[in-house]
Amino acid sequence: MTLSVFVWWILAVACFIGAPRAAVAALSSLSTGQQRNNWAVIVDTSRYWYNYRHVANTLSFYHTVKRLGIPDHQIILMLAEDIACNPRSPSPGSIFNDADHRLNLYGGENSHGVEVDFRGDEVTVTSFIRLLTGRQGPLVGP
Protein backbone atom coordinates (compact mmCIF):
# COMPACT_ATOMS: atom_id res chain seq x y z
CA MET A 1 0.00 0.00 0.00
CA THR A 2 1.50 3.32 -1.01
CA LEU A 3 1.38 6.40 1.19
CA SER A 4 -1.24 8.06 -1.03
CA VAL A 5 -3.53 5.04 -0.67
CA PHE A 6 -2.96 5.13 3.09
CA VAL A 7 -3.76 8.85 3.23
CA TRP A 8 -6.96 8.36 1.22
CA TRP A 9 -7.92 5.45 3.47
CA ILE A 10 -7.56 7.71 6.52
CA LEU A 11 -9.66 10.35 4.77
CA ALA A 12 -12.37 7.79 3.96
CA VAL A 13 -12.50 6.60 7.57
CA ALA A 14 -12.63 10.16 8.88
CA CYS A 15 -15.46 11.03 6.48
CA PHE A 16 -17.31 7.89 7.51
CA ILE A 17 -17.26 8.91 11.18
CA GLY A 18 -18.54 12.36 10.29
CA ALA A 19 -15.49 14.59 10.41
CA PRO A 20 -14.83 15.52 6.76
CA ARG A 21 -13.57 19.07 7.33
CA ALA A 22 -11.23 18.02 10.12
CA ALA A 23 -9.97 15.09 8.04
CA VAL A 24 -9.23 17.27 5.02
CA ALA A 25 -7.42 19.82 7.21
CA ALA A 26 -5.35 17.12 8.92
CA LEU A 27 -4.35 15.47 5.66
CA SER A 28 -3.46 18.74 3.96
CA SER A 29 -1.29 19.72 6.93
CA LEU A 30 0.60 16.42 6.60
CA SER A 31 1.42 17.11 2.97
CA THR A 32 2.57 20.69 3.67
CA GLY A 33 4.54 19.89 6.83
CA GLN A 34 2.35 22.08 9.05
CA GLN A 35 1.13 19.36 11.38
CA ARG A 36 0.41 20.52 14.91
CA ASN A 37 -1.75 18.01 16.72
CA ASN A 38 -1.94 15.00 14.44
CA TRP A 39 -1.94 11.52 15.89
CA ALA A 40 -1.40 8.14 14.26
CA VAL A 41 -2.73 4.78 15.42
CA ILE A 42 -0.87 1.95 13.69
CA VAL A 43 -2.07 -1.58 14.41
CA ASP A 44 -0.68 -5.00 13.50
CA THR A 45 -2.92 -7.85 14.64
CA SER A 46 -1.03 -10.65 12.89
CA ARG A 47 0.64 -13.29 14.99
CA TYR A 48 3.21 -16.01 14.31
CA TRP A 49 6.39 -16.08 12.27
CA TYR A 50 4.77 -16.64 8.86
CA ASN A 51 3.19 -13.16 9.14
CA TYR A 52 6.59 -11.45 9.35
CA ARG A 53 5.69 -9.24 6.36
CA HIS A 54 2.73 -7.76 8.24
CA VAL A 55 4.97 -6.58 11.08
CA ALA A 56 7.52 -5.25 8.57
CA ASN A 57 4.78 -3.30 6.75
CA THR A 58 3.43 -1.92 10.03
CA LEU A 59 6.89 -0.74 11.08
CA SER A 60 7.43 0.79 7.63
CA PHE A 61 4.28 2.87 8.15
CA TYR A 62 5.56 3.80 11.63
CA HIS A 63 8.81 5.15 10.17
CA THR A 64 6.93 6.95 7.38
CA VAL A 65 4.65 8.69 9.87
CA LYS A 66 7.69 9.73 11.94
CA ARG A 67 9.43 10.99 8.80
CA LEU A 68 6.33 13.11 8.05
CA GLY A 69 6.89 14.88 11.37
CA ILE A 70 4.57 13.22 13.85
CA PRO A 71 6.52 12.72 17.12
CA ASP A 72 6.70 9.37 18.93
CA HIS A 73 4.46 10.54 21.76
CA GLN A 74 1.67 11.08 19.20
CA ILE A 75 2.05 7.68 17.53
CA ILE A 76 0.24 4.73 19.09
CA LEU A 77 1.84 1.50 17.88
CA MET A 78 0.18 -1.85 18.53
CA LEU A 79 2.14 -5.04 17.65
CA ALA A 80 0.46 -8.37 18.39
CA GLU A 81 3.66 -10.42 18.08
CA ASP A 82 7.29 -9.66 18.90
CA ILE A 83 8.68 -11.05 15.65
CA ALA A 84 12.08 -9.46 16.28
CA CYS A 85 12.62 -11.84 19.20
CA ASN A 86 11.23 -14.94 17.49
CA PRO A 87 13.67 -17.88 17.71
CA ARG A 88 13.29 -18.48 13.94
CA SER A 89 14.71 -15.07 13.08
CA PRO A 90 18.12 -15.22 11.38
CA SER A 91 18.77 -11.68 12.73
CA PRO A 92 17.52 -11.57 16.35
CA GLY A 93 16.26 -8.16 17.44
CA SER A 94 15.86 -6.98 13.85
CA ILE A 95 13.04 -6.63 11.33
CA PHE A 96 13.66 -5.79 7.67
CA ASN A 97 11.34 -5.07 4.75
CA ASP A 98 13.87 -5.68 1.97
CA ALA A 99 16.17 -8.53 0.96
CA ASP A 100 19.28 -6.34 1.31
CA HIS A 101 18.61 -5.62 5.01
CA ARG A 102 19.40 -1.93 4.53
CA LEU A 103 17.23 -0.63 7.38
CA ASN A 104 16.49 -2.37 10.64
CA LEU A 105 12.90 -1.26 11.23
CA TYR A 106 12.89 -2.41 14.86
CA GLY A 107 15.95 -0.47 16.01
CA GLY A 108 19.69 -0.75 15.86
CA GLU A 109 22.65 1.19 14.51
CA ASN A 110 20.94 2.77 11.49
CA SER A 111 17.56 3.42 13.09
CA HIS A 112 16.17 4.96 16.22
CA GLY A 113 14.33 2.53 18.44
CA VAL A 114 10.67 1.77 18.02
CA GLU A 115 8.31 2.79 20.81
CA VAL A 116 5.68 0.03 21.04
CA ASP A 117 2.68 1.12 23.11
CA PHE A 118 0.69 -2.13 23.07
CA ARG A 119 2.27 -5.54 22.47
CA GLY A 120 1.36 -9.20 22.57
CA ASP A 121 -1.82 -10.01 24.46
CA GLU A 122 -2.48 -6.29 25.03
CA VAL A 123 -3.46 -6.01 21.34
CA THR A 124 -7.16 -6.87 21.33
CA VAL A 125 -10.32 -5.52 19.76
CA THR A 126 -11.33 -4.23 23.19
CA SER A 127 -8.07 -2.34 23.74
CA PHE A 128 -8.28 -0.86 20.23
CA ILE A 129 -11.86 0.35 20.75
CA ARG A 130 -10.98 1.73 24.19
CA LEU A 131 -8.05 3.57 22.67
CA LEU A 132 -10.21 5.15 19.95
CA THR A 133 -12.94 6.13 22.41
CA GLY A 134 -10.56 7.38 25.13
CA ARG A 135 -11.79 4.90 27.73
CA GLN A 136 -8.47 3.48 28.89
CA GLY A 137 -8.09 1.94 32.31
CA PRO A 138 -5.96 3.62 34.99
CA LEU A 139 -2.92 1.35 34.46
CA VAL A 140 -2.51 1.99 30.73
CA GLY A 141 0.41 4.13 29.57
CA PRO A 142 0.21 7.54 27.88
Q: Are 26 and 64 in the same domain?
A: no
Q: Are 75 and 35 in contact (CB under 8 A)?
A: no
Q: Are 104 and 133 in the same domain?
A: yes
Q: What is the pLDDT of residues 103-112, one digit of tens each?
A: 878 876 555 6
∠ at Cα 114 (112, 116), nearest 5°? 165
Q: Are 89 and 109 in the same domain?
A: yes
Residues 57, 62, 66, 68, CA torsion sign: positive
The whole-chain average pLDDT of the chain stands at 75
pLDDT at 95: 82
pLDDT at 47: 87
What does pTM read for this prediction?
A: 0.67
Q: What is the pLDDT of residues 14-41, one digit of tens each?
A: 444 444 455 455 555 555 556 578 999 9
Q: Are 13 and 73 in the same domain?
A: no
For 12-16, 30-34, 114-118, 138-142, which range has the lowest pLDDT when averaged over its residues? 12-16
pLDDT at 135: 83
